[in-house]
Structure 1
Amino acid sequence: MVPPSSTPPPNSQRTLQFLSSVLSQRGPSSLPYTEDTKWLIRQHLLSLVSDYPSLEPKTATFTHNDGRSVNLLQADGTIPMPFRGVTYNIPVIIWFMESYPRYPPAVYVNPTRDMIIKRPHPHVSPSGLVSIPYLHNWIYPSSNLVDFVVNLSSAFSLDPPLYSQRRPNPNPTPSPSINYGHHPPPPQGPRLAHFAAGPYPQRVQPPKQLQAPPTSTDDVAEVYKRNAMNKLAEMVHGDIIGMRKAREVEMEGLFSAQAVLRRREEETNKGLKEMQDEKEALEQQLQFVSMNTDVLDSWIRENEGKTKNLGKNNVNVDETIHCVDVLSKQMLDCTAADLAIKDAVYSLDKAVQNGAVSFDQYLRNVRLLSREQFLHKATAAKVKEAQMQAQVANMASRISHFVS
């Protein structure tokens, strides 16, 4: 992991602007979260920073165990840890992985140079990775960051994870050591980190609920007033947590509805595209039918005068139909010859059955007629292929005429 690439100011408005800016980026510099969870991540971070201003949202590069690096959001700072009547600040980094919020964040204790991690520790590995039951039992959307920090602070208060290293002192003075009950450290061993340098003060004022009970000299009215304010604050905090959970459930329902609407949008677009394709195909068929209609109308106009001679007796059947070109005339001759040969073979079959033609003569005539019929059929197939090519060329010229 490397130092963060960008850090927003601690101001709440600036924090909102920072989160809106980094989560709205697109392209190669965009964060690897899905679009339907970016708004939810922003709300979670704003709620966390509102309750714990010592945590600041940042973006930094996270390196996975497989060596893959990715730019992610993190909350860097300290969380309070009450211990023996005193509240200490524990430095942590909360990483929001690509699968957040459906899966829990990755949390690391971030000791300074004069701190060391207690070994062994039930909830912190030697690398600083935090593992508490709240993370293992993370259930979206009921689990949230604020409750997680509360549970983490409670777990650390039972067993602090950090100690400060004792430095040589030319004038040593006796300093008390902290006894943990089971394994007390030696007199010169590590002691609980007070974080006296940098952004971690030696100690902070304990929260109100951890303060000692009032002495007899306190004013009774002030005591009642302070207790009432504490009770009211607890009730408001509980109501806020309930409202937050209700809103998260509502947002989950809205996300599900959004997914359904997107799926329906895709189906509608697919149906619309199919209808457009069908419309284009029908328009092409309409153009083809229109061209054939023009051809038939032209043929009717050209042959309309020939119907006047049908009622007369001097009608020549061979002159009734005229072929438009040589290919049509050749196709007509081949078809007529093919049909005539079929009739001749049929007549030969009847004749040989009746005994009018000998069997040898029948075979010789059928062989000759079959050879001639094959030649006519082959010629007709070639003529048909030539007519198809001519028809395609004619249609192409007509389409170009209509388009122009």
Structure 2
Amino acid sequence: MNHVTREEALEYHHLNGHPGKLSVIPTKPLETQRDLSLAYTPGVAAPVLEIEKDPELAYEYTNKGNLVAVISNGTAILGLGNRGALASKPVMEGKGVLFKKFADIDVFDIEVATEDPERLISVVSAIAPSFGGINLEDIRSPECFAVETRLQEMLDIPVFHDDQHGTAIILGAALINALEVTQRRIHEIKVVFSGAGAAAIACANQLVKLGVPLANIWMCDIAGLVYEGRQKEMFPQKEIYAKGQQPGTLAEVMEGADVFIGLSAANIVKPEMLSRMRKDPVIFAMANPDPEIAYDLAVATRPDAIVATGRSDYPNQINNVLGFPFIFRGALDVRARKINDAMKVAASQALAQLAHEPVPADVLKAYDIDHLEYGRDYLVPKPLDKRVCPWEAGAVARAAMESGVARRPVDLDQYCRQLADRACSH
């Protein structure tokens, strides 16, 4: 992994005297007086009146259908905590760059200066008509659950808190394949979580949707086991995963586990804890930048393990860039009213299936490797694989249509061909 210094990062964001990472570029000609008349007054009057009569025509006459709002109040920025709305802007711009690069989706990043969930909900709902979808980002737990749920109920466009569902969808794909490689049945495994925040709870929810029994998921946080009747650090979404009636440590809970999922803090898992796990353990240590146990130490301790992290310098990176651009691409293109469970499951399954396919030469070149094939060290596709867009967005679009939330059905074969062409040309 190329280490990035503070100075390099600051210079990148101020490169060539053009601060930031995004800009707005016109899509229509503006060279003549006639162009100006069409672009503004009097030309804008015609689409205004048409949209007033039929709001769906906003998708035809404006950029609404390819525009996502990336919104944060800065209360949970990456691993940096509550740094305020303005400080979240580099991250929101970064999300915008990824949306554009990987799925050709335009973004306005919006930083809302409030820690009041009700005010945040009010602001987002008021500006929502401008957009085809809302990507919530870096909003602290447990407020994020209510913010997302309320907005989903209020709006008729997709509202998606990526800190929750993005990681969950990629994790789901990786687990599907890890269980296949180790010849396990999803309904028989014991899963232990370290971490019980927004991402961990969304990951657990996704695993339940994929077939892991709720009774088989054990969750620990900074206070230890989440057990029935515990008062400290509890909220309703966490209480769903309470197990037993007494305290317990992470080390105790990992006894006999098939799968460890870390979404917590660096270096809290010790080698002896891995020794308590079953044969061929699946270890997803995803704290960033440093995982719950170092990759090399995990492999040295349990050579029979499948290990994944959130880092790009080790195999099996669980990275949400494999999710949100393509999930929104599929949702936008069928004008979905929401991103529902069926669409999230379809995204996980599509990524899992794509990993079985031979890896093209251009992907190997992009990552400067000679060989890559499905197995213990390759559970999910690489983000720079141009096939991800048609596979995942196509699966999401199909699920949206089949589950009844799509307002604009598409011919899937033709749509996937168009996505492939678009990915290769972008």
Work out which structure has the larger RCO, using CA pairs closer than 8 Å and 6 or more positions apart in sequence. Answer: 2
Q: TM-score range by the shorter chain?
A: under 0.3
> Highest CA radius of gyration, 1 or 2?
1
* TM-score when normalising by structure 2: 0.19
Structure holding more helix per residue: 1
